[in-house]
Amino acid sequence: MMKLGYKLATVAVGALLTATTLTACGSSDPETTSSDGSAGPAVEIGLLLPETKTTRYEPFDRPLFEAKMKSLGNYDVAYSNAAQDAAKQQQHAESALTNGVKVLVLGPVNAQSASSIVAGATAPEVPVISYDRLVAGTPDLAYYISFHNEQVGVLQANALMDKLTKDGTKDPSILMVNGSSADGNAVLFTKGAHSVFDKSEVKILAKYDTPDWSPDKAQEWVAGQVTQHTGRSTRSTQPMTAPPAVQWQH
C-alpha cells in the first residue's frame, strides 16, 4: 500500500514539473536554461514529512522518493522532517519557499494548521501536494495523495476478527488503540474499524488516541489497561507502529 501512494506522489510531482518546464521553455529564465541552451541548475522539490517515530518516513518514504526523483532527471529534493512539531514544519516550509522550490510535497503534522503552509505557497505559485495526510480547510491543494484510509481500518479490524475466530475466543474483549487525533487518517482508520467491531460480538473495554503516534505512550497505556483488566481474555488493536510486545495481549 505504501508503494502505491509513493508511486502516485511521484506521478503527481512529474505532472506538475512538466507544466513548470513547459512554461520555463517559453522564457529566458537563467535558472532553467543556460545561455548555450544546456541544462541549468537542478530543480528543487520540497519534501516535508511529519515525524520520525513511525518506522516508515525515514527508512522508506524519503529514500524511495529521492531515488525516484533522481531517476526522472535533474531534480534535487530539499528534505525536512518536523519531528511532530507543527511550528517547526511551518518554518521548514517557509525556508523551502524562500530557497525557491518549484513543488512542495507536504505530509502535515497537523491537518488544520498546515493550511497556512498552503496559503504561503500561493503567492509564489508553488503547487502543494498533500502527501498521505490531507491538509484540511484549503481549496488550494494541487493534489492529494493517500490510501483509502477508512478501508485500512476495515482491513485491520477484519484481521483481528479473523484471529479471534481462529483462536476460538468466546465473548472477546479488546483494547482499541488509535493513532493521533490530530491526524485525519487516524480518524478514518478508527471509523473503518468501528464499522466492523460495532456489528460484531466484540466488546471494546477502552479506547485510546495515541498522542503523536508514540509507540512508547501506546505501550504504557496498554500495559496499564491489561493490569486493570487482569482475568479477562483481551486483545489490543494497535497503530501499525506499535511495538510487537503490545500487539497481542492476553
pLDDT 10s digits, 24-52: 434 434 333 333 344 678 999 999 999 99
Please state, in angstroms and rounded to a whole number, the distance separating the CA atoms of residues 69 and 47: 11
Last residue of a domain, one of 119, 145, 171: 145
Which residue is listed with cell 489490543? Answer: 236
Residues 12 and 128 in one domain: yes
Q: How far apart are CA 181 and CA 128, in angstroms?
A: 23
Helix %, strand %, coil % of the chain (to 5): 45, 20, 35
Angle between helices 62-72 and 2-25 (to 10 degrees): 40
Q: Is there a single domain that holds both residue 62 and residue 137?
A: yes
Return the CATH number at 165: 3.40.50.2300
Distance CA(243)–CA(142), nearest Å, equals 36
The owner of cell 525536512 is: 80
Residues 125 and 60 in one domain: yes
What pLDDT does 31 receive?
39
15 and 103 fall within a common domain: yes
Domain boundary among 128, 145, 162: 145
Range of the domain at 214: 149-246
CB atoms closer than 10 angstroms to residue 70: 13
Q: Which residue has the cell 492529494?
A: 144
- In this structure, what is the dihedral angle of CA atoms 108, 49, 218, 3, given to the nearest 10 degrees? 110
pTM of the model: 0.74
Q: Are residues 159 and 140 in the same domain?
A: no
With cell 512508547, the residue in question is 216
Query: Residue 227: which pLDDT band, with cuts at 50, 70 and 90?
Result: confident
Kindly provide the b/e burial profile for residues 33-64, where b requires at least 16 CB atoms within 10 angstroms of the residue's own CB: eeeeeeeeeebbbbbbbbbebbebbeeebbeb
- Same domain assignment for residues 111 and 208: no
**pLDDT the model gives residue 101:** 97
Does 130 lie in the same domain as 14?
Answer: yes
**Number of separate domains in the chain:** 2
The tally of CA atoms less than 13 A away on the side-chain side of residue 81 is 12
pLDDT digits (tens, 9 = 90+) for 127-166: 999 999 999 999 999 999 998 999 999 999 999 999 999 9
Q: Say yes or no: 158 and 135 in one domain.
A: no
Assign 14 a pLDDT band (cuts: 50, 70, 90).
Answer: low
Residue 131 backbone dihedrals phi, psi, to 5 degrees: -105, 120
Choosing from 145, 177, 199, the residue where a domain stops is: 145
Strand partners, 78: 46
Give yes or no: residues 23 and 62 share one domain. yes
**Domain identity same for 35 and 156:** no
**What is the pLDDT at residue 15?**
52
Based on the fold, state whether residues 234 and 182 are members of the same structural domain.
yes
